[in-house]
Amino acid sequence: MKRFIMLSAVVAALLCSCSQPENDLREITDKVFGLAKIQYAAMDAALAEDAFPKTTDAEGNLKTSDIGWWCSGFYPGSLWYIYEYTGDEAFRDLAWKHTRRMEAMKDRHTDHDIGFQINCSYGNALRLTGDSTAIIPTYVQCARKLADRFTPAAGVIKSWDFLRNDWRYPVIIDNMMNLELLTVAARLSGDASLADVADSHAKTTLRNHFRPDWTSWHLVDYDPETGDVRYKETVQGYAHESAWARGQAWALYGYTMMYRETGDREYLEAAENIGDMLLGKLPQDGIPYWDFDAPGTPLRDASAGAIMASGFIELSTLTADKEASGKYLDMARLQLRTLASDEYLAEPGENGNFILKHSVGNLPGKSEVDVPLSYADYYFLEALVRYSSL
């Protein structure tokens, strides 16, 4: 499909961004990880034994969840990134402490988000420690729990168990992020069927979730017996036909990851088209509105910006198009600089000990609006680590 033409305002912003000295991003990264050490050590001290950080309440105090909340793996994952960048053994110990708490997921009733929960915690632990004996059995068992949610007739993994609006088999674009659990587990276990499930889900989603302009619906509901598409909706965005920003971020990151995992060029082409679409929609500072089509002056979503930045960095290393690679990387630089500005970066001891301010969870549901979120921090730290490794 024809690639998108970038808006002149965004191109101007990118030119401004890439003209800044490169060493400022190293200084920014050092500053952010210095803050992260302060915030996340204080977070550990504030957490009850069975609690995980979630967001803040109306007074700015820390709100927590139990292990079943879909975000429970992001805190241990962030601790692993702090350890990776700083080399501070105290954070390796903290990362192990909170990762081991995730082991209970293998024996719990779960949904599709087990991919987030386990890959961010145990996946980073395996990547950074190589401790296969302690990690692989739990990792593979959790991947099989995710694969059990796959229905061959539909060709996709079911996302939510709750059914409303006459849904029968709802699948959300977020589910692309959970496929890495399957592809990695397939290599670790030798069970190719896990990778086959991931590939089927990604291919089916590619056929059904995207509009001609490469924006994505949030949810597609399937008939589980026939695989027919029943509904297409945007549950957490402004309107069904609108481009909910975090959904577009999941799509960019998910298809970039699937190309890295499989080498299938169909996934690379999808990621490039999604990336080009985003370059044409992002505001001049690179941080998306919570929904690109929301009227008025909508809220920004730092979480979507952080996810996009991480996705853009990886995509810049995978595409063979040098011009596109430069544009993706320039946008990521711009997004990282903006997120590290006073507008988004917390002061030590503030913001419930989270790193980033101004994320939007579910505005239509009046949940987590203009607050810190654990996954915003996770993907921000991941993006900075990825950039520092280039």
Residue 221 a catalytic site member:
no
d(CA 50, CA 215): 39
CB–CB of 232/217 below 8 Å? Answer: yes
d(CA 194, CA 390): 30
| Cα angle, residue 295 at apex, residues 293 and 299 outer, rounded to 5° | 85
Q: Using DSSP bridges, classify how beta strands 229-233 and 219-222 pair: parallel, antiparallel or unpaired.
A: antiparallel
Question: Which candidate in 66, 93, 113, 370 is catalytic?
Answer: 113
d(CA 201, CA 224): 13
Residue 113 a catalytic site member:
yes
Strand partners, 184: none
CB–CB of 336/369 below 8 Å? Answer: no
CB burial string 333-352: b at 16+ within 10 A, e below? bbbbbbbbeeebbbeeeebb
d(CA 113, CA 359): 20
| Cα angle, residue 207 at apex, residues 203 and 211 outer, rounded to 5° | 135
Question: Which candidate in 66, 88, 111, 174 is catalytic?
Answer: 174
Q: What 3-state DSSP class applies to 306?
A: helix
CB–CB of 136/126 below 8 Å? Answer: yes
d(CA 89, CA 200): 40
Give the catalytic positions in this structure: 113, 174
